[in-house]
Structure 1
């Protein structure tokens, strides 16, 4: 119970600045620090340059002597602009393109690590590994499928690491996670031709809202291998987390849809990371990353009423995805480093027919840069910036059989990320 209260308190603090947005494909958030942003998160499981390694690979805490604290924030500005290409609403007249469904958000993080003994290390991380928000104008053409979709997660991650041998470190962590989901749309149920026009208008003007939360457990583990004097290889794994979201399904018109308790089950995917850091000389190092996210755990998400009936099924049918990143670091002098990186991030969306209006995702291409300023022997500041190019994505969301229209068109998308991290050791 005490741990649940702690998670709720952290969620309240984070909620002051956080609105869920997806920085990686699907609704995954890679922005768990800003120090890796400049490298497009290449080498994430092998770098271990500050306490944020608690998230990416707890085994790399063995690189951090004494007590280390790291905190930062990423500002994420996504843009999703829809263009109508022949949508048909059932049973309403057409609407607008919905404006820009993206919106700026702040994603904070906090970490600490402690050297318990020569070979044992402990750590704690707080962040948000998954998040998403899309919000359209209320009169847009797809309003019967989605007007607002907002997912937030708050993750508390205590960890341990041990220096098993001179060249091998092992790490393990548990994750206590809170998830919040808010989903709004217009009811839009089609009545037969010739039915009461006033009744049709009343149904179409009704807003239905799902507001649900869940608390669940997961785990993560990793290993770090020192391959000679100039190369480190890291592997890490974060487990699936099963959430049973429970809350209310409410309506602005009780005659159309009475308020009721509701439930939805969602399994967040597990992720594998393989990372490498190669030091070329005293100034240059190269970083690489290959990761796999098993998004197929997100398939059909049913929203069930208290009476056992299904209000709606979100038919995501995600596929498993790969991400590849390559980056580098150049030491300019004793105080400054320059960071850069590129990445390819595969979307879990299979096709235009399976692209949800609440998640108009597509493949993402990263280009990143950043700098690290060493203030003194024990403290550093990292700044980073990334531009994510998202190719135009088509959508053909035909839900006429459920009275929610057929939305046909395309999205122009992009994401800009800015971040800052402060790290200190004692």
Structure 2
């Protein structure tokens, strides 16, 4: 197995540790709230409509008068079309490598007194699952990816005065990942059976979310939220099977340092009148942290140190600024209707895009509704359609055009006590 082939197999674990098959670009998942999804998350930092504000802006907990419990999930139906594929090796290009995925979330927020609120949330900020067909033509750059990140966030908010509140919550993040891929035969590429590479790793990382919420006047509210970076030092193993190179088959201790990027989200919520509410927001994400990835494998024989001992991959991702607008219409005392539009540019490009994360610039159209079943129970539903611009894969042995799209459905229930 060549050093180049091994590099492509292992670096993909790093870049998919926070990848997504959902509605946020780069390495993020947006689906932490069905009520927010209905407006394209345009007012995520300023709306404070229910306990899911714990993620969107922890300062928003100060707007909740009673104890609230929110539970829900989003289901993502993604599709990939591959066109104009060419490569050195034969194979198929069926696409549709992303199975149906479900993203759950839950929150509890309660007032402690007139100024303090406490809460706790469980959600998935990052995750991916991708599974190409066995004979995929780009199999030497990726086959299966399965990554899950689960975050626990205990949170406090404080009402500074009638118009200003602040909030803070540490995050405890568990990450687990599994990656498989094929590599060309160690003696001659395309000759004999493929070498199979399987990488697994896990770790805990710690960060925080902090926010401020300001009522500019009785109709206009502004919010600002900071989601910190999270450092991971994954430990796991790399397993190589099927190679005819003497001494290469086996299991190696693997280490990988990875930092998920920080982001700043800001938005405005404008209550135009008793019926209409408008939202506008933007999010900056520091994707330039993915400049390069370094993988260390222990226990490698001296003859193979140059191939799989220490590997550096240049990513050269860029920071991005996404934006969203949305609206809500209070149809009657029980029903509210929502709509939103999001533009989410990609941090990668035609030069550095890979089959693991073949994402491009995204446009997301969203619809939603909320139903106050009783004063103590609200049900929210949302639908999103994601359309992605065509993106190119350009490697030495495989080129193709990827077109991605997705349908998302989310629902949640809010109980008040």
TM-score clears 0.5: yes
For 1:18-417, list aligned pairs within 5 A.
21-89=21-89, 94-188=90-184, 191=187, 200-202=191-193, 205-253=194-242, 255=246, 256-307=248-299, 309=305, 311=308, 313-349=312-348, 351-398=349-396, 406-417=397-408
User: 2: distance between equivalents of 1:87 and 1:60?
Assistant: 52
Q: Aligned-pair RMSD on alpha carbons?
A: 1.8
Change (3 A) 1:40 1:392: same
User: 1: distance between equivalents of 2:394 and 2:83?
Assistant: 12
User: 1: distance between equivalents of 2:155 and 2:36?
Assistant: 20
Q: CA deviation at 1:335?
A: 0.4
Change (3 A) 1:33 1:162: same
Change (3 A) 1:272 1:189: farther
Q: CA deviation at 1:84?
A: 4.1
Name the structure 1 match of 2:11: none
Q: CA deviation at 1:98?
A: 4.2
SS of residue in 1 equivalent to 2:42: coil
- Please give the TM-score of this superposition, normalised by the length of structure 2: 0.90
Name the structure 2 match of 1:13: none
Instruction: Please list the CA deviations of residues 120-142 of structure 1 after superposition, one character each: whole Å capped at 9, or x if unmatched.
Output: 11110100101122211121111
- Please give the TM-score of this superposition, normalised by the length of structure 1: 0.88
Structure 1: which 5+ runs fail to align? Answer: 1-18, 399-405
Contact 1:80 1:360 in 2 (8 A): no
Instruction: Please list the CA deviations of residues 344-371 of structure 1 after superposition, one character each: whole Å capped at 9, or x if unmatched.
Output: 001111x212001100000110111011
Q: CA deviation at 1:189?
A: 5.0
Length, aligned pairs only: 389
Instruction: Please list the CA deviations of residues 147-177 of structure 1 after superposition, one character each: whole Å capped at 9, or x if unmatched.
Output: 0122210000111000011110000010000
SS of residue in 2 equivalent to 1:36: helix
Contact 1:59 1:222 in 2 (8 A): yes
Higher alpha-carbon deviation: 303-312 or 413-422: 303-312
Contact 1:98 1:138 in 2 (8 A): no
User: 2: distance between equivalents of 1:296 and 1:257?
Assistant: 35
Contact 2:380 2:413 in 1 (8 A): yes
User: 1: distance between equivalents of 2:406 and 2:108?
Assistant: 29
SS of residue in 2 equivalent to 1:144: helix
Moved over 6 A (4+): none
Instruction: Please list the CA deviations of residues 187-208 of structure 1 after superposition, one character each: whole Å capped at 9, or x if unmatched.
Output: 2156469xxx9xx414xx2210
Q: CA deviation at 1:287?
A: 0.5
User: 1: distance between equivalents of 2:403 and 2:188?
Assistant: 36
Change (3 A) 1:189 1:270: farther
User: 2: distance between equivalents of 1:330 and 1:395?
Assistant: 42
User: 2: distance between equivalents of 1:85 and 1:20?
Assistant: 23
User: 2: distance between equivalents of 1:192 and 1:127?
Assistant: 46
Higher alpha-carbon deviation: 339-348 or 247-256: 247-256
SS of residue in 1 equivalent to 2:389: strand
Q: CA deviation at 1:80?
A: 1.9
Instruction: Please list the CA deviations of residues 185-231 of structure 1 after superposition, one character each: whole Å capped at 9, or x if unmatched.
Output: 112156469xxx9xx414xx221010100101001100000011101
